């Protein structure tokens, strides 16, 4: 199963990823797990490298044109890319930290399943606009973050779900707000509907990351609030400017008001 997962993390075939997830979920839900001692490899390239042109983030165009099909497609493509990346991030969390409990693996397989559904939902919109995944350049920031946090599951849970995915909870409503006055356009209405579905389910994904981050902190006898700040500093993320902090979504996902205020929110009530 581990060798198969290693291959799945390197393929861009979404159906193969889906079949693997379904099969592995069946195994784990029957309280069976395949334990095998192995050394996880560090992947040189993300699995989407065969589909997309990867560029430096500052080479990506600004997405301000929501009037044209190409402008909308550029926005949808960016979100498609995030959802695709999230599939591999969830699977990598299992591959790289196989000594974690069965419940942990089930959680991340369910997350990967959700991300595949999000990916397919957005791909339909992208194709309706006349474009495909790979028609716009992408950056590999999330792939790099997964490699940087490959040695410690505590860092992985802090940085991927609790930092990057939680940041998505801040950004998602802002995108919807920018699109709202164009919702009479049927395509825009579909994008907004997809973003709302993703938003609701991403709260649960961040909550799972929060749950396992705190689980590891408890096992290591660490204060989770202090530890989170220390890890953000370690990865130079503690000073990142956040123009919008989604207080309610972060609270629902497990963040305390103390943490939310430390992240830059002006107000938070328990």
3-state secondary structure 117-175: HHHHHHHHHHHHCCCCCCCCCECCHHHHHHHHCCCCHHHHHHHHHHHHHHHHHHHHHHH
Contact 214, 225 (CB under 8 A): no
Q: Is residue 75 part of a domain?
A: yes
Q: What is the CATH number of the domain that holds 47?
A: 1.20.1260.10
Q: Is residue 268 part of a domain?
A: no
Angstrom distance (rounded) from CA 116 to CA 112: 6
pLDDT tens for each residue of 245-262:
999 999 999 999 999 998
pLDDT at 38 over 80: no
Q: How many domains does the structure of the chain reveal?
A: 1
Question: Which residues are CB-neighbours of 105 under 8 A, at least 6 positions away?
Answer: 24, 28, 33, 94
pLDDT tens for each residue of 179-217:
998 888 999 999 999 999 999 999 999 999 999 999 999
Mean pLDDT of the chain: 92
Angstrom distance (rounded) from CA 131 to CA 137: 13
Reported as half-sphere exposure (CB side, CA atoms, 13 A), residue 195 has a value of: 25
Q: Is residue 269 part of a domain?
A: no
Q: Is residue 19 part of a domain?
A: yes
Q: Is residue 226 part of a domain?
A: yes
Question: Which residues are CB-neighbours of 180 under 8 A, at least 6 positions away?
Answer: 192
Q: Is residue 176 part of a domain?
A: yes
Q: Which helix H or strand E contains 206, and what residues bound it?
A: helix 186-219
Q: Is residue 207 part of a domain?
A: yes
Angstrom distance (rounded) from CA 143 to CA 48: 10
Q: pLDDT > 90: what percent of the chain?
A: 77
- Residue 2 pLDDT grade (very low, low, confident, very high; cuts 50, 70, 90): confident
pLDDT at 34 over 70: no
pLDDT tens for each residue of 76-88:
999 999 999 999 9
Q: Is residue 270 part of a domain?
A: no
Structure tokens at 33: 């797990």
pLDDT at 169 over 80: yes
Angstrom distance (rounded) from CA 128 to CA 76: 11
pLDDT at 4 over 90: no
Range 30-43 average pLDDT: 78
- Residue 36 pLDDT grade (very low, low, confident, very high; cuts 50, 70, 90): low
pLDDT of amino acid 221: 97
pLDDT at 61 over 80: no
Angstrom distance (rounded) from CA 159 to CA 190: 30
Contact 245, 260 (CB under 8 A): yes
Q: pLDDT > 70: what percent of the chain?
A: 98
pLDDT at 238 over 90: no
pLDDT tens for each residue of 20-33:
999 999 888 887 77
Name the residue range of residue 95's domain. Answer: 2-262
Angstrom distance (rounded) from CA 188 to CA 194: 10
Angstrom distance (rounded) from CA 73 to CA 77: 6
């Amino acid at each position: 199963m581990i060798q198969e997962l290693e291959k799945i993390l390197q393929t861009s075939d979404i159906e193969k990823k889906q079949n693997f997830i379904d099969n592995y979920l069946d195994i784990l839900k029957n309280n069976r797990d395949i334990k095998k001692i192995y050394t996880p490899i560090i992947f040189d390239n993300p699995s989407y490298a065969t589909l997309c042109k990867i560029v430096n983030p500052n080479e990506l165009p600004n997405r301000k044109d929501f009037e044209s099909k190409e402008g909308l497609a550029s926005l949808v493509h960016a979100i498609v890319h995030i959802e695709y990346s999230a599939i591999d991030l969830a699977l990598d969390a299992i591959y790289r930290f196989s000594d974690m409990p069965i419940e942990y693996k089930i959680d991340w397989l369910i997350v990967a399943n959700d991300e595949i559904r999000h990916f397919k939902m957005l791909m339909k919109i992208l194709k309706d606009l006349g474009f495909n995944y790979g028609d716009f350049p992408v950056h590999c920031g999330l792939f790099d973050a997964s490699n940087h946090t490959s040695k410690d599951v505590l860092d992985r849970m802090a940085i991927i779900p609790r930092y990057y995915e939680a940041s998505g909870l801040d950004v998602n409503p802002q995108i919807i707000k920018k699109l709202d006055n164009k919702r009479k356009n049927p395509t825009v209405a579909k994008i907004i509907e997809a973003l709302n579905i993703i938003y609701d389910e991403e709260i649960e994904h961040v909550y799972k990351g929060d749950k396992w981050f705190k689980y590891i902190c408890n096992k290591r006898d660490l204060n989770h609030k202090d530890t989170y700040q220390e890890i953000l500093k370690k990865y130079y993320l503690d000073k990142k400017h956040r123009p919008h902090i989604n207080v309610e979504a972060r609270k629902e996902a497990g963040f305390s008001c103390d943490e939310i205020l430390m992240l830059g929110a002006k107000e938070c009530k328990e």
